[in-house]
Amino acid sequence: MTHAASPDRVQDPGRARAVLHYLRRNKSLGFGLFALLALLAFTVIGLLVIDPNDAYPLAAPTRRAPSWDYPFGTDFFGRDMMAVMVVGMWQTAFIGVVAGGIGTFLGVVLGFTSAYFGGWTDSVIRVTCQILTPIPVLLIQVVVAGSLDKRDVTIFTMALIVVMLAWMAPTLVIRAQVLTMKERQFVSVAKLSGVSDMGIIFKEIFPNLLPFVAAAFVGQIFLAVFASFYLAVLGLGPLREPLLGNIIWLAQAQGAFFNGWWWWPIAPSVGMILILGSLALINMGLDELANPRVRKSE
Amino acid sequence: MTLMLILRRTGFLFVVIWAASTITFFIPRLSSVNPVRERFAELARLGGYSPDDLEKIIESFSTQFGLDRPLWEQYVDYVWSVLRLDFGFSLNRYPVTVVELIAQSLPWTIGLLLVSTIIAFVVGNLLGAVAAWPRAPGWARNFSTPFVLFMGVPPVLMGVLLLFFVGFRLKLLPLGGAYSIGLVPEMSWAFTLDLLRHQILPALALILGSVGSWVLTMRGMGITIQGEDYVNFAEHKGLSGGRIFRDYYLRNALLPQVTGLALALGTVVTSAIIVEGLFALPGVGTVLINAIRANDFPVIYGIVLFITIVIAAIMTLMEFIYPLLDPRIKNQ
């Protein structure tokens, strides 16, 4: 053995410590994750403590200002606003994750097909995205939601409406990434050594795409929450459900501020600001993680 | 060459209009709701009509709106009328046409949009440029940070908070409406002042919601430009800081921002519509919300198509204007 004793290994700081260390550096990711976890804790604990039926009309005395019994007050229709916040957040999260998940999945599949196989599939997908881009997505969603029978609209249909036009952004992002990755050497090497198309896609390209997919997923959740909120504020949500946007729409229709019921629109608004704010921060943080060019030097 | 370009761009504009009108034509027909029936069933519930009469009314309405003809004929007719900006009649306020409803409310929306977008654009770009300018004092460079934080807040939520703090708690500004109840619209100072007071909060909500994104993009642009040779050259020539800031730095950084303005249009318009609804201003947004509430389908589709056409047209126009602003870009 000609080898000398191997030099002392650099101590591995452990995964958890490394993550914490990174979060301290990437402040927006850290703050965003913290805020989202706090909201999640509020929702989960809330679901265990409150009765979800209190979030629907006629469950409580009407128009009570915040007090010990009703921390967020009660609304014109006799909803306990505390229960509304818990159930509304849960429904918002459901729409976000379902719509974001489907949108990202479609985006990854379409983006991959478009970039990897090229040809006429690529042209069709690209041109469709190009034509749909100048049309404000929300307005098309207004048409779709407005055409449905209002009694049929549920939380799940809301998610489907939102996702219908939400696949374009991830498609374009993934397509651009795959286009550059396809030309890299490791792909050529894999091709020359006879790896199949599927093998290259799943074993060579996809692992490298994961950060972008994660970023696209969070971005899609943000957009889905945003879009479903806007539809609900316009009065297109499932009207009986305590979605946060619905509550603001109802409060505005009943002239909450004119009548002095200030707590009614304020609670869902602050809740929505926290949800969107934390998602935006995580999104910014993931951008920094996925795109080394934006990554700050330490 | 240029003629080809104009033709191609205009062609694309028509494709977008065609796509939008196809969507608004087919989606309602895929759904199980019959707008005419829905509307008259509602009237029947309110009283007066026997079911037989109702069937007759629905039939005559369907003939009048051409709903009994073959689908492709209706479709061709529909796209053709959309291209002529004819969106039909309001079901709810028949015989008022959708275009008349839009024309009545449009000045309010345009006023709000123009003022808030211009203020947000100017303030945001100035703050962003200062934030990236190395010679600016520290306080001025950090001044824009709160606006960047507001960026994630949708303008309508900003509006609720402003209503609560400024309108409800401090009672400084009115809680909604276009002017005070009891005033008659007239050309007088008192009325104009009242009108403006009602516009401040909605405009502020829109401005606070969009200043941040201008700050961010402008700051990024400013940082890139600092490394450019012409800025170094101007500095070594001994030009004054203000001159470099204005003529070498701001002017060059501003160009891409103008494109950004066209791209942001869709978002800005949708936020304005929703903010209008919140503040009960008599603009397009309130008309849309009322139409949604009353199941007035032609008005909903008409407003959606109108906004889409306007946005697509402005974006096409921007592509023609852009080479005039930046001579380096030649349209190919």
- Confirm if A87 and A242 have CB atoms less than 8 A apart: yes
Per-position b or e across B157-190, b if 16+ CB within 10 A of its CB: bbbbbbbbebbbeeeebbbbebbeeeeeeeeeee
Distance of residue B298 Cα from the nearest chain A Cα, in angstroms: 10
ipTM exceeding 0.85, yes/no: no
Distance of residue B25 Cα from the nearest chain A Cα, in angstroms: 10
Tokens of A148: 């449905």
Query: What span, in angstroms and rounded, lies between the C-alpha atoms of A293 and A289?
Result: 9
Query: What span, in angstroms and rounded, lies between the C-alpha atoms of A148 and A213?
Result: 32
Smallest CA-to-CA distance from B291 within B79, B89, B107 is with B89
CB contact under 8 A, A140 and B176: no
Smallest CA-to-CA distance from A229 within A99, A132, A54 is with A99
Tokens of B91: 């079901």
CB contact under 8 A, A131 and B163: no
Q: Is B289 on the interface with A (CB under 8 A)?
A: yes
Is A178 within the bounds of a domain? yes
Is A108 within the bounds of a domain? yes
CB contact under 8 A, B304 and A142: yes
Q: For residue A149, which residues of chain B lie inside 8 Å, CB to CB?
A: 31-33
Q: In chain B, what is the greatest distance between 2 CA atoms, to the nearest angstrom? A: 89
Is A257 within the bounds of a domain? yes
Three-state DSSP class for residue A98 = helix
Is A34 within the bounds of a domain? no
Query: What span, in angstroms and rounded, lies between the C-alpha atoms of B56 and B61?
Result: 9
Best A27, A28, A131, A135 member to test B by mutation, with max B CBs in 10 Å, is: A135
Rg (CA), chain B: 25
- Confirm if A115 and A180 have CB atoms less than 8 A apart: no
- Confirm if B89 and B98 have CB atoms less than 8 A apart: yes
Contacts of B259 (CB under 8 A, 6+ apart): B318, B322
Three-state DSSP class for residue A80 = strand
pLDDT band at A11 (very low <50, low <70, confident <90, very high): low
Is A164 within the bounds of a domain? yes
DSSP A153: -
Give CA separation, B196 vs A173, B164, B190, in Å.
43, 19, 10
Query: What span, in angstroms and rounded, lies between the C-alpha atoms of A90 and A52?
Result: 11
Q: For residue B308, which residues of chain A lie inside 8 Å, CB to CB?
A: 134-136, 139
Is A151 within the bounds of a domain? yes
pLDDT at A44 over 60: yes
Query: What span, in angstroms and rounded, lies between the C-alpha atoms of B211 and B274?
Result: 18
Which residues partner with B115 through β-bridges? none
CB contact under 8 A, B168 and A148: no
Smallest CA-to-CA distance from A230 within A165, A133, A173 is with A165
Q: For residue A233, which residues of chain B lie inside 8 Å, CB to CB?
A: 156, 274, 277-278
Sign (positive or negative) of CA dihedral A249, A251, A254, A258: negative
- Confirm if B68 and B62 have CB atoms less than 8 A apart: yes
SS3 annotation, B203-244: HHHHHHHHHHHHHHHHHHHHHHHHCCHHHHHHHHCCCCHHHH
Give CA separation, B238 vs A295, B233, B235, B242, in Å.
35, 9, 5, 11
Residue B90's φ and ψ, nearest 5 degrees, are -75, 135
pLDDT band at A145 (very low <50, low <70, confident <90, very high): confident
Is A242 within the bounds of a domain? yes
Residue A154's φ and ψ, nearest 5 degrees, are -125, 180
Q: For residue B152, which residues of chain A lie inside 8 Å, CB to CB?
A: 273, 276-277, 279-281
Q: Spell out the per-residue pLDDT of chain B, length 332, in tens.
A: 578 878 888 888 888 888 888 888 888 777 766 666 766 776 666 666 666 777 777 777 777 666 677 788 888 888 888 888 888 888 777 788 899 999 999 999 999 999 999 999 999 998 888 888 877 777 877 777 788 778 778 899 999 999 999 988 888 888 887 777 777 777 788 888 888 888 899 999 999 988 988 888 888 888 888 778 888 888 888 888 888 888 888 888 887 788 788 778 888 888 999 999 889 899 999 999 888 888 788 898 899 999 988 888 888 888 777 777 776 665 54
Nearest 5°: the CA angle A6, A7, A8 is 115
Q: For residue A105, what pLDDT is reported?
A: 93
CB contact under 8 A, A280 and B151: yes
Strands (E), A62-207: none
Tokens of A277: 């704010």
Query: What span, in angstroms and rounded, lies between the C-alpha atoms of A61 and A73?
Result: 10
- Confirm if B316 and A259 have CB atoms less than 8 A apart: no
Distance of residue B243 Cα from the nearest chain A Cα, in angstroms: 30
Which residues partner with A241 through β-bridges? none
Query: What span, in angstroms and rounded, lies between the C-alpha atoms of B230 and B252?
Result: 11
Total tally of structural domains belonging to chain A: 1
pLDDT band at A92 (very low <50, low <70, confident <90, very high): very high
Smallest CA-to-CA distance from B215 within B125, B300, B310 is with B125
CB contact under 8 A, A277 and B175: no
Is A117 within the bounds of a domain? yes
CB contact under 8 A, B20 and A135: yes
Cis peptide before B95 (omega within 30 of 0): yes
- Confirm if B7 and B316 have CB atoms less than 8 A apart: no
Q: For residue A41, what pLDDT is reported?
A: 93
CB contact under 8 A, A149 and B163: no
In the Cβ-directed half-sphere of B261, how many Cα atoms lie within 13 Å?
22
Question: A141 is in which domain, residue-wise?
Answer: 39-60+70-296
Query: What span, in angstroms and rounded, lies between the C-alpha atoms of A168 and A135?
Result: 12
Q: For residue A268, what pLDDT is reported?
A: 92
Per residue in A197-246, pLDDT tens? 888 888 888 888 888 888 889 989 998 999 899 999 988 888 888 999 99
- Confirm if A246 and A154 have CB atoms less than 8 A apart: no
Q: For residue B332, what pLDDT is reported?
A: 46
CATH of the domain at A207: 1.10.3720.10
Interface of A with B (CB under 8 A): 131-132, 134-140, 142-144, 146-149, 152, 226, 229-230, 233-236, 248, 252, 257-258, 260, 262, 265-266, 269, 272-273, 276-277, 279-281
Query: What span, in angstroms and rounded, lies between the C-alpha atoms of A9 and A256?
Result: 66
Q: Helix, strand, coil proportions of chain B in percent (round to 5)?
A: 75, 0, 25
* Predicted TM-score of the model (pTM): 0.85
Q: Is B297 on the interface with A (CB under 8 A)?
A: yes
